[in-house]
Structure 1
Amino acid sequence: CELAALGFRLLATRGTAAYLRGHGLQVEAIDKVGEGRPNPVDLIINGQIQLIINTPSGKTAFADRGPIRRAAVAYGVPTLTTLSAAAAAVQAIRAMRAEPLQVASLQERQSRV
């Protein structure tokens, strides 16, 4: 998994964690919202989550979606809701780590052209 290779610790609720482990990924299982603690909202509040990839399916997953996204907005945690967005984010993270952004005024940029 590219996120793990980039140094991210992967967390998922039990069902998702089992699926990902079955595909060879090292994932830490956490409780769903309302099932126990720690759950995604707890970890967001505690500053332990840097990025959320939330592609819910099933009634329980959709019920968890609201509290997770509200906490993410309140605490400034980026949330991706599609796998294509997650793939684009991984590509962007990889690119930024390879060559950090440089800030320049428009005038400076124009002088280089």
Structure 2
Amino acid sequence: FFTKSTELAVRKHRQECNVLPFVKQIDTVAGEWPATTNYLYLTYNANEHDIIFANTNQIMVIGSGVYRIGSSVEFDWCAVGCLRELRRLGKKTIMINYNPETVSTDYDMCDRLYFEEISFEVVMDIYNLENPDGVILS
């Protein structure tokens, strides 16, 4: 059935079967003591979210992902500039990027940072959970 299907059809079927991801916080202190962070990831191995979704006054920014030959730091700098301007305007910021070497994945650049692949499925899952006022592609 799925070998000759589309990404959208598979996603729709997954949602109809209630196979949905949960948001978890990355434990930056390896369980040594309780900690909360804005570093987040999606998992299917959970039954509740670690966060409460604001669903208001927030904008989602999609990062550039891994560095590539010919395009690298300048795309991340666009994301950083965008995050700074959104914060200046009083907006909450949600960043999706999976490159730990970028400035946009620094803990103080945004309100929520998802370390996730930049694919249609993942971005739409986060979009549906967060329900932002807008999305910016950097």
| TM-score (normalised: structure 1) | 0.32
**Larger strand fraction of residues:** 2
| TM-score (normalised: structure 2) | 0.28
**Larger helix fraction of residues:** 1
With CA pairs under 8 Å and 6+ residues apart, which has the higher RCO, 1 or 2? 2
Larger radius of gyration: 1
